[in-house]
Amino acid sequence: MQSFEVTDVERMSAILETFSILDDIRWSEMSNYNSINYYRDDLTEDEKLLTHWLCYITDRQMPFKRVWDIGGYVISHIVHTYTTNHDESIAEVMGHYVIRNGNTIRLESPLESSNATLDRYGITGVDCAFASRYMPEDLVLIYHTLGVLNKAAGRSIARFMCLAIDDEMNLEQGIKRLASALNQLTYAAGGTVLGAEFDRRIKEIDCEIANFELEIDTSVSLFGRKRLWCSIRDYLKSPEFNPIFVAALEKAGCPNSDRWKRDSAESRAALKVLELPGDVWNNAEIFREGLFRPYVSNDRKTWDMPRTIREIYKFIAQSRPTCFYPEQLDVSFDFVPQMCQQSMCDVCLFGAGIEDVCRQSQNLLCSVVLYSCGYKYRCDPLTCGLKKNSVKGFCKSSCVCP
């Protein structure tokens, strides 16, 4: 079998570097990312970190704002009870929140006070209910996570992370070790669970937790762990969650926690080992066929963007320096629905170009990134990497290009 090849390195490099610019803009402002609606303002960094991790467990095939807004409220309530009531078992903690009606399961917490975010959903009663699309399975993963943290790390997710990274001097290897550990914490216990199977699966989980030992193996492929890589990405790149992550590590006793700050040159250089969280957007046909397949050969018969973009990155990086790394293509989460799905080819960076929308007006909101991804970013013509319009016409799916 012939090996994978990028047939037009110049164009592919330019495409990827454009996405790198958009991704840097994405993470430059907290307003470009949805925050968690915690049920109280004084949660510890560790509690916020665990709330974030558990919310991502439930973030599958449902509006992500609903996960952060409603799920965040309920799950943060669970987390605070879990971390402050060590005398209660996991089953007792969850018993306060799990509501069952036959084989239907949901989570429900008290509505402690008026909450503006919940008001927008019409949630104004005495309780706040949340059910993810895959609730029986997601709830099993939550049980497993809380049980392992109780056994191995004193109910602290930061302490658990320290078990994987505290003696690792190489940050790239540290990220891989962190991914391996967090996968064992939660997603290794995954599998389809029907409502009628819930009690049996929880008993099995109890046995698995009793025998749990953390065994780091960075050679295991974790390409398919979308929610895992989204979480780690947030801890390393988000202007909201990275300070929480670093502070939680420091309080957990992790040495040299400052190395993990998002503005650290060492941390930024290590981001290249992050894998792309695969989703419907970066695997969308119009995106794939327009910007990637025309410039590669001998690609996989079954297109898999996380693996494919890793191969493209490796092919390009062996011959030239690049500011792009694979996870940055997750900007497609915003780009594809904003541009490709709306057939906005006439104002697209990769389509007809940006002449009609680029104003180069210092300190005003950049209309190009607002159109492209919905991001709010102040224009700075002197440093702008998009104004060159250098990828105009590169998309072969564009309705305005030959």
Looking at the domain assignment, is residue 393 inside a domain?
no
Tens-digit pLDDT profile for residues 253-309: 998 899 999 999 999 999 999 999 988 888 899 999 999 999 999 767 778 899 999
For 90-118, write each residue's pLDDT tens digit.
999 999 999 988 888 999 999 988 899 99
What is the spatial distance between Cα 131 and Cα 135, in angstroms, rounded to a whole number?
A: 6
Q: How far apart are the first and last CA of the chain?
A: 32
Q: Per-residue pLDDT for 8 more than 90?
A: yes
Q: Are residues 67 and 126 in the same domain?
A: yes
| 19 or 203, which is more confident | 19
In this structure, is residue 397 part of a structural domain? no
Q: Band the pLDDT of 1: cuts 50, 70, 90.
A: very low
Residues contacting residue 259 through CB under 8 Å, at least 6 positions apart? 171, 266, 267
Give the residue-averaged pLDDT of 128-134: 94
Measured at the CA of 63, the angle between CA 60 and CA 66, to 5 degrees, comes to: 105
Which of 216, 236, 261 lies at the terminal end of a domain, its last residue? 261
pLDDT of residue 303: 80
Q: Are residues 279 and 212 in the same domain?
A: no
pLDDT for residue 3: 73
Mean of pLDDT values over 210-218 = 93
pLDDT value at position 66? 95
Instruction: Compute the distance between CA of residue 185 and CA of residue 56 in angstroms, rounded to an integer.
Output: 13
Task: Say whether pLDDT at 347 is over 60.
Answer: yes
| Residue 307: how many other CB atoms lie within 10 Å | 20
Q: Phi-psi region for residue 256, left (φ > 0), alpha (ψ -120 to 50) or beta? A: left
The domain total for the chain is 2
Percent of the chain at pLDDT > 90 equals 80
**Is 225 found in the same domain as 83?**
yes
- Which amino acid is it at 206? D
Which structural domain range is residue 257 located in? 34-261
Statement: residue 402 has pLDDT above 60: no
* Strand, coil or helix: 145: helix
Short-list 72, 131, 125, CA closest to 100: 131
What token pair was written down for 184? Answer: 């064992």
E strands, 266-327, in order:
296-297
Task: Give the tens place of pLDDT for each residue, 137-158.
Answer: 899 999 999 999 999 999 999 9
Q: What pLDDT, on a 0 to 100 scale, did the predictor assign at position 400?
A: 53
* Mean pLDDT computed over every residue of the chain: 92
| Whether residues 334 and 253 fall in one domain | no
- Considering 230, 261, 292, which residue would you say is the last residue of a domain? 261
- For residue 384, being part of any structural domain is answered with no
Rg of the chain taking only CA atoms, in angstroms: 22
Q: Is residue 390 part of a domain?
A: no
In this model, does residue 245 exceed pLDDT 90?
Answer: yes
Residues 245 and 331 in one domain: no
Based on the fold, state whether residues 139 and 53 are members of the same structural domain. Answer: yes
How far apart (Å, rounded) are the C-alpha atoms in residues 5 and 311?
9
Residue 82 and residue 163 in one domain:
yes
Q: Tell me how crowded residue 104 is: count the other CB atoms within 10 A of its CB.
A: 11
Write the pLDDT tens digit of every residue in 354-391.
Answer: 999 999 999 999 999 999 999 999 999 999 999 999 99
Give the pLDDT confidence score for residue 2 in this predicted structure. 56
pLDDT band at residue 399 using 50, 70 and 90 as cut-offs = low
Element (H, E) at 5: strand 5-6
User: Is residue 344, in this structure, part of any structural domain at all?
Assistant: yes
Q: Per-residue pLDDT averaged across 128-133, rounded?
A: 95
pLDDT at 401 over 70: no
230 and 120 in a common domain? yes
Same domain for 184 and 300, yes or no, is: no
> pLDDT-derived band of residue 34, with 50, 70 and 90 as boundaries?
confident
Q: Is residue 306 part of a domain?
A: yes
